[in-house]
Structure 1
Amino acid sequence: MSMESEYVRATLLDRNGSGREVAWPEVESWHPRQGVLWLHFDSACEEVLAWVSDSSELPTVVKEALLAKEVRPRTLAVGDGLFLALCGVDPKHKARRESRVSIRIWVEENRVISIGKRRLLAEEDLISRLSSGCGPRGTAALVVSLADLLVLRMGDRVDDFEEKVDELEDQLLEWSVKDLGANLVQFRKRTIALRRYLCLQREVLTRMQQESAPWFDEGSHILLADINERLQRHIDDIDTIRERAAIAQEELLSRSSEQLNSRMYVLSMVAAIFLPLSFLTGLFGINVGGIPWAQAREGFLVFCILLVAALAGQIAFFYWKKWL
């Protein structure tokens, strides 16, 4: 496998906060004394999948977990190593389900292997910190920093959702019922999905705190607790957003019901007004003898006056009953 490939990135940490990208031949000759090695692969590359499967010397259960196509956030301890399945967000696909990107990580004392479908901004941020000399100093710090940046980027998505629900509330008076209702349903589905992944991520971080890997120091446990607390705040914010969206949807349904009731009321009034008139015209239109004014020249005029009087009387009665 060639390091010129866009599907592979290898970074060597010097344990002093700095890191540099290394070529694949240097990866193959790497020794733990040189520093912590972080390998990040794109799962879209068949060559990467073949290397993980055949040449990585990882436990079988870890290989299967790393190569799995769909992995929910979870953690698995294997010997002195730790497998993590986390998720991040891709800002290029905010409105799509694919905006959530799974990243699988295998952590050893001196080596970290991560595989993802697309490169996340959290990874770019971490590489930038290492390049500037203010990055993590060890394996545990690397994993915790990556988890921290993933949660930070999820905070951006929560902020996007807050702006979206503000927009939907503002458009509640402007949009048609059909358009706004469909948008609210879609928005609620997205918030539910994000909350589910955030809760799973919180469980993973909680489990990480409970693991007793020898390379996981006390400081990393403290940082994980802080990250977990911020993640819980994001979950609380998502719950608030879901409640606001539910209230907006209830208001929309209520307004729709009011419009329907109003239209049905108008139709009922029209039917009630014309029912007696229809009765009279039908009664006087039957072809039998004895119809009043049948032979009178003024009969039609008298009958029209009768209808107008009946109509006026009905309207007066409706106003007296406060039905109009």
Structure 2
Amino acid sequence: MHDNFLVAGRDGLLWCYIIEPDKSARLCSLEEVNSYQGSGYTWVHMQSDEIDTALTLQKLGLAPARIESLCALETRPKVQDYHDGMLIYLRGINRNPEADPEDMVSLRLWLKERQIISLRRKDRRLLSVIDVKESLDNGECPPSPIDLLVNIVNCITDRISETVDDLDDELTEFESQDVPQNESRTRLMLARRQAAALRRYLAPQRDALEAVTRVCKHITDNQVHDIRMDYDRMTRYVEDLDLAKERAMVLQDELRNRIAEQQGMRMYVLSLVTAIFLPLSFLTGIFGMNVAGLPGTESPDAFTILAISMVIIALGITGYMLWKKWM
């Protein structure tokens, strides 16, 4: 059953697993988790903002200070090592319906030698955790809590990669446009905002992954290698987001310059038209005055002479502009 279809009760529980050393996993109850004495480990996934979540965490043996940290409203990626376990805050891409990817989902983890507890907030489902759950259901069971943590981090990093690549493709599409579209300014602003929002959490998350390799007491060389790989990937994504911000700024400046150039060209054309018709308007204004003494009022050829004179003047001004290369 997917996390999408699981609804936490008042106790905040979404699922509990017992993972045995033979790499088999089975769903279980909270009581079975508390009474488990095997050589495997347990995984409890919860909702942090239910009414009795704190009471459930207390039943799992967590100290009040740890419970308060796991149920905090706002978190930033970091790692804190304690004598009884390790507290880890991570952020994952929000792939929920009608959600913005930059609105990243918080995942809180409490890691011990034989147990891992993960929490997320209501209606903030993290698809990376669901992927790991499905792998357990398919028999792909990590041998230790740290390996389970590595799998979660890998899935989170993979989805971050997809989002960063999508952002890069969007900016590449902008760069290939010869003529800016009407909605380009808004889309560029959104892309720049998305890059900044993602980097806000990915930079400390990169540092948190590095801290895991330093402070975790039961980590093996292979696990360190896997987390280092995710650390290197996260570093590259942070650099890509920095570059994306710069590219978006350059594209915005180029778009503004293109718009200003188009507006300047239109004003230039209007100025040329005005320069050609200004003397003609002056002549029509003079001969259109309803006063006595105007020349040609009694001559039947006066209008023809005036019209021909105006055409000659217009052609003369146009020729002068062409000679000066103003047109």
Q: TM-score band (shorter)?
A: 0.7 to 0.9
State the alpha-carbon separation in 2 of the partners of residues 18 and 152 from structure 1: 25
* Higher-helix-fraction structure: 1
Q: CA deviation at 1:271?
A: 1.2
Q: What is residue 38 of structure 1 aligned with on the other side?
A: 43
Q: 1:127 aligns to what SS in structure 2?
A: helix
Query: Is the Cα–Cα contact under 8 Å of residues 213 and 224 in structure 2 kept in the other structure?
Result: yes
Q: What is the TM-score when the length of structure 2 is the normalising length?
A: 0.85
Query: Is the Cα–Cα contact under 8 Å of residues 107 and 139 in structure 1 kept in the other structure?
Result: yes
Q: 2:219 aligns to what SS in structure 1?
A: coil
Query: Is the Cα–Cα contact under 8 Å of residues 139 and 215 in structure 1 kept in the other structure?
Result: no
Indicate whether 1:245 and 2:248 are aligned.
yes
Q: 1:46 aligns to what SS in structure 2?
A: coil
State the alpha-carbon separation in 1 of the partners of residues 125 and 200 from structure 2: 22
Q: What is residue 25 of structure 2 aligned with on the other side?
A: 19
Q: 1:199 aligns to what SS in structure 2?
A: helix
Indicate whether 1:183 and 2:192 are aligned.
no
State the alpha-carbon separation in 2 of the partners of residues 249 and 41 from structure 1: 43
Deviation per CA, 1:206-241: give whole Å up to 9, x if none: 222221x43233432232222211212222333444
State the alpha-carbon separation in 1 of the partners of residues 70 and 194 from structure 2: 26
Instruction: Output the amino acid matched with 1:45.
Output: E
State the alpha-carbon separation in 2 of the partners of residues 4 and 14 from structure 1: 28
Q: CA deviation at 1:318?
A: 1.0
Q: What is residue 310 of structure 1 aligned with on the other side?
A: 313
Structure-2 change in CA distance of 1:160 and 1:5 (3 Å): farther
Q: What is the TM-score when the length of structure 1 is the normalising length?
A: 0.86
Q: 1:91 aligns to what SS in structure 2?
A: coil
Q: CA deviation at 1:153?
A: 2.1
Match of 2:166 among 155, 160, 169: 160
Query: Is the Cα–Cα contact under 8 Å of residues 80 and 214 in structure 1 kept in the other structure?
Result: no
Instruction: Output the amino acid matched with 1:71.
Output: T
Bigger mean CA deviation after superposition, 297-306 or 70-79: 297-306
Q: What is the percent sequence identity of the aligned residues?
A: 32
State the alpha-carbon separation in 2 of the partners of residues 296 and 4 from structure 1: 103
4+ residue runs over 6 A deviation: 2-6
Q: CA deviation at 1:243?
A: 4.0
State the alpha-carbon separation in 1 of the partners of residues 244 and 166 from structure 2: 11
Instruction: Output the amino acid matched with 1:127.
Output: K
Q: CA deviation at 1:292?
A: 2.8
Bigger mean CA deviation after superposition, 284-293 or 185-194: 284-293
Q: What is residue 146 of structure 1 aligned with on the other side?
A: 152
Instruction: Output the amino acid matched with 1:307.
Output: M
Structure-2 change in CA distance of 1:49 and 1:270 (3 Å): farther
State the alpha-carbon separation in 2 of the partners of residues 135 and 125 from structure 1: 12
State the alpha-carbon separation in 2 of the partners of residues 204 and 111 from structure 1: 20
Q: CA deviation at 1:7?
A: 4.6
Q: 1:238 aligns to what SS in structure 2?
A: helix
Bigger mean CA deviation after superposition, 136-145 or 214-223: 214-223
Q: Considering only aligned residues, what root-mean-square deviation do their CA atoms show, in Å?
A: 2.9
Instruction: Output the amino acid matched with 1:37.
Output: T
Deviation per CA, 1:238-281: give whole Å up to 9, x if none: 34444443443333222212211111111111111111122223
Residues 1-324 of structure 1 mapped to structure 2, 5 A cutoff = 7-31=13-37, 33-52=38-57, 54-93=58-97, 96-97=100-101, 100-117=104-121, 118-169=124-175, 172-173=177-178, 176-177=181-182, 179-211=183-215, 213-286=216-289, 290-324=293-327
Bigger mean CA deviation after superposition, 242-251 or 135-144: 242-251
Q: Which runs of 5+ in 2 are unaligned?
A: 1-7
Q: 2:52 aligns to what SS in structure 1?
A: helix
Instruction: Output the amino acid matched with 1:158.
Output: V
State the alpha-carbon separation in 1 of the partners of residues 276 and 149 from structure 2: 77
Bigger mean CA deviation after superposition, 101-110 or 279-288: 279-288
Bigger mean CA deviation after superposition, 76-85 or 13-22: 13-22
State the alpha-carbon separation in 1 of the partners of residues 119 and 243 from structure 2: 33
Query: Is the Cα–Cα contact under 8 Å of residues 87 and 102 in structure 1 kept in the other structure?
Result: yes
State the alpha-carbon separation in 1 of the partners of residues 98 and 172 from structure 2: 17
Query: Is the Cα–Cα contact under 8 Å of residues 15 and 136 in structure 1 kept in the other structure?
Result: no
Instruction: Output the amino acid matched with 1:69.
Output: L
Structure-2 change in CA distance of 1:84 and 1:6 (3 Å): closer
Structure-2 change in CA distance of 1:55 and 1:98 (3 Å): farther
Q: Between Structure 1 and Structure 2, how many residues are aligned?
A: 319
